[in-house]
Amino acid sequence: MKKNKFNPGIKVTIFFVFFSCVFFSLGLWQIERGQDKQSILDQFENNTSKAPSVISDKSQKWDRVRVKGTWQKEKQIIIDNVINKGLAGYKVLTPLQIASSNLKKDFVEESFFYCHFFDFQTFNKNLYFFIIMKVLAIESSCDDTSISIVNGDKNIEFLETINHRKFHKDHGGVIPEMAARQHLEILDLLGRSIKKINFSNISAIAATFGPGLIGGLIVGSSFAKGLSISKNIKLIPINHLQAHLLSPRLVSDIKFPYLCLLVSGGNTALVLVKSSNEFNTLGSTIDDSAGECFDKVAKGLELGYPGGPEIEKLAFRGNNKKFKLPMPLTKKTNCDFSFSGLKTSALDVIRKNKKTKIFLKDFSASFQHTISKVFEIKILNSLAQLKKDNISINDFSICGGVAANKYLNTQLRKFIASKELNFHQVPLSLCTDNAAMIGWNAIEIMKARKIKLNNYNVRPTPNILIHEHF
């Protein structure tokens, strides 16, 4: 049988050689394209991960930079019915006139501002601009009048807090009507410094609308509304308790969800902070708060108002095992608190003893230690509840005015460490009522969810709950 031999002609040979070269070249081209694409992706990831720097002609492609300029609000465009993370909202496009004489003309002319769901970002064809939100905040829920400017980069640019404690000390506590007058006078003084603020850089005005004393809430919220209307800047009403619970995120990298112990003059609660607008109260006081218990016991000891800091000073050199005081509800497996029984028993002990220096020190130490143990037991109960609900957390924090107590912080830090959790300390300036936490809460709201712009019908609500929003 004759075998067939492959004997292509010259034309076929030239055809195959030609197209082999073509396909080989195309293969090399595709490899180069892939390498170039990967190089671009690497450059983008590297440049966008850097900290923002001041914009200049040397700024590279996709660099994050800081710019100053003037918003051209008259050219603003709002795109409705946009979905972000499952929530309906707006996409806002606002031109920005960059104020920089050392930049090339064409470089500046190509730049514009892009605001997406109030998460401010700016783009042009070559650069990625990072614009930081800035909030002017007002706090006046009780006996502290405070104004602050906070930005989205976790910087407190301005914080002025004036407390009325010396004024209220002569009256044995806070009298709502007098507190309202004090807020009015102080805000009038602080308002004069506001004239120096460049409101073109302010993204929003925030104020405490509740809970708190109605007089103080009215003064602060009315002041904020007036500023909002006069400056044409959006108004954000804030829940004071939520601001406390979110304050650890202003000073640390604490991640959602986390467990937070809220202890103040009016509230004591263990709260699972799931997000910037989700708060699950695991337990709260059924009668007196820990802060109120401190103040009433301090009054019985004739230490004056506020009592907490004075008890802490006396307790420093006292014997915390000298007096055995009751710990109500600690035999229960729930997370609720009760301090009325402890308060009554403590006042009874005070009446039966002479107020010597030794007694004051030992009793203060014992009282403070008792409250610390109550907190530990209830935190343990809350961790058991979270485990039962298959909720995993890594972080814990304490907030509110009573959180300023160094002894309580030290004891809880040790206790939390034994449970292999991260303890996040809130500085003293952010423990007590302050406007910085109000401003940060507003930034969290703007970043996380749609808000109602300039809803001036919102009224102060003295008894609003932790989980409720305005």
What does the pLDDT read at residue 324?
96
pLDDT < 50 stretches in the chain = 104-130, 168
What does the pLDDT read at residue 107?
41
Q: What is the CA radius of gyration of the chain?
A: 30
What does the pLDDT read at residue 304?
77
Domain with CATH 3.30.420.40 in the chain: 134-246+435-448, 255-424
pTM greater than 0.95 (yes/no): no
The residues with which 395 forms a beta bridge, in sequence order, are 422
**Which amino acid is it at 281?**
T
**For residue 251, what is the enclosing H or E element?**
helix 248-251
Rounded to whole angstroms, the Cα distance separating 20 from 424 reads: 66
Provide the CATH number for the domain formed by 255-424 in this structure: 3.30.420.40
Q: What is the DSSP letter of 12?
A: H
Give the pairing type, strands 64-66 and 395-399. unpaired
What does the pLDDT read at residue 125?
33
What does the pLDDT read at residue 416?
97
Handedness of CA 172, 176, 179, 185 (dihedral sign): negative
Long-range contacts, 389-393 (Cβ 8 Å, 24+): 391/257, 391/272, 393/257, 393/258, 393/259, 393/272, 393/421
CATH 3.30.420.40: does it fit domain 134-246+435-448? yes
Query: Exposed, middle or buried: residue 287 (CB in 10 Å: 0-12, 13-18, 19+)?
Result: middle
What does the pLDDT read at residue 47?
75
Rounded to whole angstroms, the Cα distance separating 424 from 441 reads: 18
Q: Which of 213, 73, 62 minimizes the C-alpha distance to 123?
A: 62
What does the pLDDT read at residue 265?
83
Angle at 447 between CA 444 and CA 448, to 5 degrees: 85
Give the pairing type, strands 156-163 and 144-151. antiparallel
